[in-house]
Amino acid sequence: MTVGAGNPRTSAEGGHDVVIDVDNLRMIYPAPKPGALPTVAVDGVSFQVGRGEIFGFLGPNGAGKTTTISILTTLLQPTAGHARVEGIDVGTRPNDVRRKLGLVFQRSTADEELTGRENMAIQAGLYGHSGTSVDRRVTELLVQMDLGSVGDRLVKTYSGGMRRRLELAVGMVHDPKLLFLDEPTLGLDPQGRAGFWRYIRTLRGSEGVTVFMTTHYLDEADQLCDRIAVIDRGKIVATGTPKELKDGIGGDTLEVAVAPGAADLSPLLTPMPGVKAVSRREDSYRVKCTNGEQLIPKVVLAAEQAGISVRGVTVAKPTLDEVFLELTGHAYREEGESPKEDRSGGNGGGSDQGRRP
Amino acid sequence: MMLPMASLIRREYLRWIRAPTWVISGLMSPILYLLLFGQAFNLGKLLPPGTPASALSQVLSGAPNYFSYFAVGMVAFASVTAAMFSGTGIIFDKQLGILQRILSTPISRRSVFLSSLVFRGMLTLIPAFLVVGFALLLADVPGVAGLTVSSGVTVLDSVQFLAAALVLSVAFTALFLSFGFAAQRIESYFGVVTILQLPILLTSNAMYPTSIMPTWLQYLVGFNPISLAVNIMRMSLFGTAGYPYSAGIYFAGLLAWAVLFVGLALLLASRALRTNPAASPTGSALSQAIAE
Ligand SMILES: Nc1ncnc2c1ncn2[C@@H]1O[C@H](COP(=O)(O)OP(=O)(O)O)[C@@H](O)[C@H]1O
Ligand SMILES: [Mg+2]
């Protein structure tokens, strides 16, 4: 099911300028041992990302985000399907694709025994860049990432936030026009995340960089990304702008609290204009509707007339949380609630979410 | 395309220079061998008094005394022992995700392997040089046996000595590096190394002359790359008398081993660097079975 516009924004010239084009991608990890089940990590995923977009891949742990990003960055051959980056097939011409992109991994991959500056210079060398232009770029990025004063310290003395920012600086050192970020703000404090969002917006704005990022933070997807694909258990359940997704599930939720023991309000609420569904939990009602604010006086009036005393009414605009619940039929699990990620492959064919029929 | 390789070599160098444990692991064992084993295990003393020095020298393929004979063996011993640690770095890089990051850049897979081979190969030569230097120094210490070379050693002989040491280093560095690329965990790596260590070192002529061994062992020892290199190195320092073959033949044999080990390593490394579970035969068969 696709909600909202599935296509990237059109470029200024009026034509589609597709940077990432993914067609029916599948990735099945072989069973870790005989008898265990293989894991279907990515299950027929298709989407497109336009130039200059910040595209978010939103899903809970184990949804298949890292696997998708690994395929797009040539680190993994898909079981089936195709992916093109800047028009180049990632499977057949991986080295040309590698030149086009910068990648920031989910976990820290900097060399602990080296300084931040050395890590960046060596990464630049791997892309064939050296000399004073690299020195300048490194210094500039260190300052931008707020690492100016620690650039010459060994990475093993860095704090978690510094490491995250260094990862980004290392991924940017060769000046890529396409950035892949795998959970870039994982473990950052709110301040660090806000700073990161600011930086990503600047990048897109001033340098026209296209950003493909994964996240399992709903608010991050909501506030930072131009468009989102919601992925759950290897499948994309929706694609669109955050607003489209939220509008797509049918608007507001009215919470109506009544006095304990009052008569049932549902028969009065259901026929009201704009109301889509009513559910009752003891003395409170959840009313799904298209026009929350307009409905409030009608609800209060109808209840008074029926002799039911209303204790309070709140109107809630939809969140991606609800989008997720609506689309997948199960609640979104934030970090901490989900089982620990197991990369050792020791948990048989089971995914984090027990991906089984 | 030298710059990406140079970057990786620089990275390994910086890591190495900041982790001084190599001083202990790399230096201690050859020096202990020279000081304790080499001094105590003096074959010359076992001969009856009055035996002419030339008789001993004949057994020792031209070396003036047992210590000199032994010291050259220790040069090979030290570099092969050092090479046994060559594969550890790549395992940590794998576990820390650093290798994945390197592989996401346009550097060629072969360059990743070759840069390790070049740097680690050079590293294994350091203990070899230190053994030579230390053994030569001991010759000037009264009451202690030292390395004495024949007076006719030319520049060409020295080059020959160095070439043998270099090829031996590269061969074993490649071999152990390839185990590092193949292994997922440091335990399994050292498991393999432990199994191979003694057979490789003990079936060589590094410590005792081939002539005192049973015939079947002599064959084994004759083909061992360490023996081949040690033969060349002893010929360089003590003369070629008493050897059934020329240094060129030994060198050809040593090179053959090096080509074999480097080839094997390239194969194992490129297989490991594919980082692709679906590419393994079992993987793709399974995926197909699922897809149907
Ligand atoms: N190398 C692997 N071998 C086997 N299974 C894996 C491997 N990597 C990930 N998985 C499984 O694939 C599924 C998707 O994982 P991943 O792409 O890492 O999800 P996410 O990044 O969204 O948390 C999970 O069930 C995970 O356990
Ligand atoms: Mg992930």
| Of the candidate ranges A86-90, B23-27, B91-95, B181-185, the one whose mean pLDDT is the lowest | B23-27
Task: Give B3's contacts in chain A (Cβ within 8 Å).
Answer: 125, 128-130
pLDDT at A8: 53
DSSP state of A73: T
Pick the more confident residue, A46 or A208.
A46
**Banded model confidence at residue A250, pLDDT cuts 50, 70, 90:** low
CA distances from A354 to A69, A233, A245, A328, B18 (A): 21, 9, 26, 14, 45
* A133 residue type, one letter: S
Q: Look at residue A29 in the predicted model and tell me its pLDDT.
A: 92
β-pairing, A210-215 with A178-182? Answer: parallel
The number of beta carbons lying within 10 Å of the beta carbon of residue B18 is 10
Q: Quote the pLDDT of residue B276.
A: 52
pLDDT of residue B251: 96
Query: What percent of chain A is predicted at pLDDT more than 90?
Result: 48
Task: Please state, in angstroms and rounded to a whole number, the distance separating the CA atoms of residues A203 and A192.
Answer: 16
State yes or no: pLDDT of A159 exceeds 70.
Answer: yes
Mutate which: A109, A118, A152, vs B, most B CBs within 10 A: A109
Give residue limits of the domains in chain A.
13-100+176-245, 250-317
**Which residue minimizes the CA distance to atom 24 of ligand 1?**
A62
Instruction: Tell me the C-alpha to C-alpha distance, in Å, between residue B108 and each of A128, A206, B88, B168.
Output: 12, 32, 21, 26
Give A127 or A352, the one with higher predicted confidence: A127
Kindly state whether B106 is in contact with chain A, defined as any CB-CB distance less than 8 angstroms.
Answer: yes
Identify the residue with better confidence: A57 or B271: A57
- CB of A153 within 8 Å of a chain B CB? The answer is no
A41 is written with which tokens? 């990590």
pLDDT at B234 over 90: yes
Cα–Cα distance for residue pair B274/B113, rounded to 1 Å? 13
What is the structure's pLDDT at B57?
Answer: 80
Q: Check pocket membership of A62 for ligand 1, CB cut-off 6 A.
A: yes
Report the b/e string of A124-151 with b at 16+ CB within 10 A.
bbbbbbeeeebeebbeebbebbebeebb
Give tens-digit pLDDT for B184-193: 899 999 999 9
> From CA B113, how far away is CA B104, in angstroms rounded?
15
Q: Delimit the domains of chain B by residue range.
A: 2-291
Tell me the best of A65, A67, A107 to mutate to test the pocket of ligand 1, counting ligand atoms within 8 Å of each CB and taking the most: A67
Cα dihedral: B247, B250, B252, B258 (round 10): -130
Q: Which residue has the higher pLDDT, A68 or B57?
A: A68
pLDDT, residue B279, reads 36
Closest CB to B14 among A101, A109, A114: A114
Give me Rg for the CA atoms of chain B. 22
With a cut of 80, say whether residue A338 has pLDDT above it.
Answer: no
Q: Tell me whether B273 touches chain A (CB under 8 Å).
A: no
Residue A187 has what pLDDT?
78
Using the mean position of ligand 1's atoms as its centre, give its distance from the Cα of residue A108 in Å.
Answer: 18
pLDDT at B22: 65
Q: What is the model's pLDDT at position B257?
A: 97
Instruction: State pTM to two decimals.
Output: 0.82
Which pLDDT band, with edges at 50, 70 and 90, does A247 fall under? Answer: confident
Task: Give me the pLDDT at residue B26, please.
Answer: 67
Q: Are strands A101-104 and A54-58 parallel, antiparallel or unpaired?
A: unpaired
Q: Residue A28: which H helix or E strand, with range?
A: strand A18-29
Cβ-proximal residues to A261 (8 Å cutoff; 6+ apart), any chain:
A283
Q: Return the SS3 of A26.
A: strand
Of A28, A66, A76, the one to substitute when testing ligand 1's pocket (max ligand atoms within 8 A of C-beta) is: A66
Angstroms from A102 CA to nearest CA on chain B: 8
Q: Is the CB of A199 under 6 A from ligand 1?
A: no
Q: Is A352 in the pocket of ligand 1 (CB under 6 A)?
A: yes
Ligand 1 pocket test, candidate residues A33, A37, A39, A69, most atoms within 8 A of CB: A39
Instruction: Please give the average per-residue pLDDT across B69-86, as a whole number.
Output: 91
Neighbours of ion ligand 2 (CB under 5 A): A 65-66, 106
Q: Measured between alpha carbons, how far is B256 from A159 in angstroms, rounded to an integer?
A: 50
Option in A27, A38, A103 nearest B286 (CB): A38
Top CATH class of A250-317 equals alpha beta
Tell me if A349 CB under 6 Å of ligand 1: no
Residue B95 in contact with partner chain A when CB distance is under 8 A = no
Task: Tell me if A76 CB under 6 Å of ligand 1.
Answer: no
Is the Cβ of B104 closer than 8 Å to some Cβ of chain A?
yes
Interchain CB contact of B107 with A (< 8 Å): yes
Percentage of residues of chain B with pLDDT beyond 90: 45
pLDDT for A348 equals 36
Measure in Å the smallest separation between the Cα of B286 and chain A Cα atoms.
Answer: 6
CATH entry 3.40.50.300 includes domain A13-100+176-245:
yes
Summarised one tens digit per residue, pLDDT across range B245-288 is 999 999 999 999 999 999 999 998 888 887 554 333 333 333 33
Classify burial at A325, counting beta carbons within 10 Å of its beta carbon; exposed 0-12, middle 13-18, buried 19 or more.
middle
Q: Is residue A6 predicted with pLDDT exceeding 70? A: no
Q: What is the pLDDT of residue A5?
A: 47
Which residue blocks in A145-241 are alpha helix, DSSP H? 160-172, 190-207, 218-224
Query: Which pLDDT does position B149 carry in this prediction?
Result: 83
Distance A64 CA to ligand 1 centre (A): 6
**Average pLDDT of A155-170?**
93
Query: What pLDDT does A40 receive?
Result: 94
The Å distance, Cα B233 to ligand 1 centre, comes to 53
* Most confident region among A24-33, A42-51, A332-341 by mean pLDDT: A42-51
B259 and chain A in contact, CB less than 8 A = no
Check CB contact under 8 Å for B287 and A118. Answer: no
Contact with chain B for residue A27, Cβ under 8 A = yes
For testing contact with chain B, the best of A122, A138, A170, A355 (most B CBs within 10 A):
A122
pLDDT tens for B110-166 read 999 999 999 999 988 888 888 888 888 888 888 788 888 887 788 999 999 999 999
Nearest to A265 by CA among A288, A291, A283: A283
Q: What is the DSSP string of A100-146?
A: HEEEE-SS--S-TTSBHHHHHHHHHHHTT--SHHHHHHHHHHHHHTT
Residue range A290-318, pLDDT digits in tens: 878 888 999 999 988 888 888 889 888 77
Residues of A in contact with B6 (CB under 8 A): 125
Q: What amino acid occupies position B269?
A: A
A314, β-bridge pairs: A255
* pLDDT given at position A334: 52
Confidence (pLDDT) at A57: 94
Q: What is the pLDDT of residue B73?
A: 92
Give the pLDDT score at A306. Answer: 87
A98–chain B nearest CA distance, Å: 5
Candidates B234, B181, B228; CA nearest to B200 is B228
Q: What residue of B is the nearest CA neighbor of A72?
A: B104
How high does pLDDT run on average in chain A?
A: 85
Cβ-contact A354, A234 below 8 angstroms: no
DSSP letter for each residue of A233-302 = TTEEEEEE-HHHHHHHT-SEEEEEEE-TTPPP-HHHHTTSTTEEEEEEETTEEEEEES-HHHHHHHHHHH
Mean pLDDT across A40-49: 95
Task: Note the ipTM here.
Answer: 0.85
Mean pLDDT of B101-115: 93
Is B10 in Cβ contact with A28 (below 8 Å)?
A: no
| Contact B210/A at CB under 8 A | no
Beta bridge partners of A101: A178
- Residue B210 has a pLDDT of 84
